[in-house]
A = this chain, B = another copy of it.
Amino acid sequence: MKFNVYLSGEIHSDWREQIIQGCQANDLDITFSSANTDHDSSDSAGDALGAESQSFWRDHKSAKVNAIRIKTLIERCDVAIIRFGDKYKQWNAAFDAGYCAALAKPYITLHSEDIVHPLKEVDAAAHAWATTPEQVVETLKYLSSN
């Protein structure tokens, strides 16, 4: 069974690569997609549309350009993996989770145990919670088998 999987969240570790390589090693029929994961490139997504002197509007323009891609990919996916790391606010990951929940698009959270409490609302609407990329690979392997 073919799956489209959207990978949302943390960009400062290699969890995406681990999941993708783990699925490839298992020959799973899965297509992966992501928002732009290059921080500087993402922050300057709107610069081509004209420079902004205020950081709020620069961020605003870039975030809206990025949203075209994110929105399209979330709507195309069958399931999303939403990763929360140890650092940064990662409100965009929680935003994606809420967006998925309202669209009734299933998602799996990926985060360590120490942030279970602040993520309880996000986990409550998830279909699964994993703590390691290997667990995500196992779950995708299970789902796409047969």
Chain A interfacial positions (CB closer than 8 Å to B): 1, 3, 33-34, 36, 41, 45-46, 48-50, 53-57, 59-73, 78-79, 84, 88-104, 106, 108, 113, 115-125, 127-131, 135, 138-139, 142-143, 145-146
A60 contacts which chain B residues (CB < 8 A)? 120, 123-124
Cβ contact within 8 Å between A49 and B135: yes
Cα distance, A126 to B45, chains bound together (Å) = 15
Grouping DSSP codes into helix (H, G, I), strand (E, B) and loop, the A interface class, with mixed when no group exceeds half, is helix
Q: Which of B56, B65, B106 contacts A72 (CB 8 A)?
A: B106
Which chain B residue lies CB-closest to A144?
B69
Cβ contact within 8 Å between A142 and B99: no
Q: Which of B33, B79, B94, B127 contacts A94 (CB 8 A)?
A: B94
Cβ contact within 8 Å between A121 and B63: yes
Q: Which of B117, B135, B145 contacts A55 (CB 8 A)?
A: B117
Cβ contact within 8 Å between A33 and B1: yes
Cα distance, A41 to B141, chains bound together (Å) = 13
The 8 closest A-B pairs by CB, nearest first: A98-B98, A102-B102, A63-B124, A94-B94, A95-B98, A59-B120, A98-B99, A48-B138
